């Protein structure tokens, strides 16, 4: 998804019009909807300070809507989040087993009838400790959603505010209480 598509998606999920979002950002009444429309259509790219204002108005971490380059943990995870939003990702745990020759083997299974027509699924092992720790928490949130322990809105709030919504952030001043975010 492009930056504009992400802004539009979250804005509509929040039940806001372009005019309302623009006004929440402090844009003048006469240009509020035009500016947001230009950003959402990717005709214009907001400067970093404007993007921060938009993120605050949408009640999300700026990383959830910004353009980014893959490489750091945050960028990798934001890419995965948006693939998840489009239902392109299923997350499941793998077991790491050491055999009698001291070789690592990953074991797991994935079954989904949809793949009978698409083709065999592939897995990825990410050798990045921070990403793997996060993936464990993400799997926990997906299971909470599946088991109706949290709502889709809460799940999205958790993703859109990561890393400030992570369990590890609870001990910090910048923690976002994603469960109770309105």
Is the pLDDT score of 4 beyond 90? yes
Interval 135-176: pLDDT, tens: 889 989 999 999 999 999 999 999 999 888 988 888 888 898
The pLDDT, as a whole number, for residue 70 is 57
**CA-to-CA separations, 163 to 8, 32, 60, 103, in angstroms, rounded:** 21, 29, 11, 34
Residue 19 has pLDDT above 60, yes or no: yes
DSSP 134-162: HHHHHHHHHHHHHTTSS-HHHHHHHHHTT
Q: Which residue ranges form the domains of the chain, and what is each CATH number?
A: 3-60 (1.10.260.40), 73-180 (no CATH)
Q: Best-predicted range by mean pLDDT among 45-49, 62-66, 104-108, 166-170? A: 45-49
What pTM, to 2 d.p., does this model score?
A: 0.66
What is the reported pLDDT for 171? 82
Predicted local distance difference test score (pLDDT) of residue 24? 97
CA atoms of 169 and 158, how far apart (whole Å): 12
Return the H-helix or E-strand segment holding 129: helix 129-146
Instruction: Report the DSSP pairing between strands 104-107 and 95-98.
Output: antiparallel
CB neighbour class for 29 (10 Å; exposed up to 12, middle 13-18, buried from 19): exposed
pLDDT at 116 over 90: no
Mean pLDDT of 110-133: 67
């Amino acid at each position: 998804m492009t930056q504009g598509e992400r802004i539009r998606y979250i804005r509509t999920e929040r039940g806001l019009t372009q005019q309302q979002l623009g006004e929440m950002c402090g844009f003048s009444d006469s240009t509020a909807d035009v500016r947001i429309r230009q950003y959402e259509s990717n005709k214009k790219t907001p400067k970093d300070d404007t993007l921060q204002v938009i993120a605050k108005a949408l009640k999300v971490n700026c990383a959830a809507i910004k353009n980014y380059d893959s490489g750091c943990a945050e960028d990798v995870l934001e890419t995965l989040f948006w693939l998840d939003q489009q239902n392109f990702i299923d997350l499941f745990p793998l077991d790491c087993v050491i055999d009698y020759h001291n070789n690592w083997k990953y074991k797991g299974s994935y079954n989904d009838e949809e793949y009978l027509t698409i083709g065999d699924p592939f897995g990825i092992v990410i050798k990045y400790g921070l990403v793997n720790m996060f993936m464990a928490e993400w799997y926990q949130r997906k299971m909470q959603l599946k088991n109706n322990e949290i709502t889709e809105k809460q799940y999205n709030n958790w993703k859109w505010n990561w890393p400030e919504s992570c369990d590890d952030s609870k001990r910090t001043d910048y923690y976002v209480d994603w469960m109770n975010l309105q």
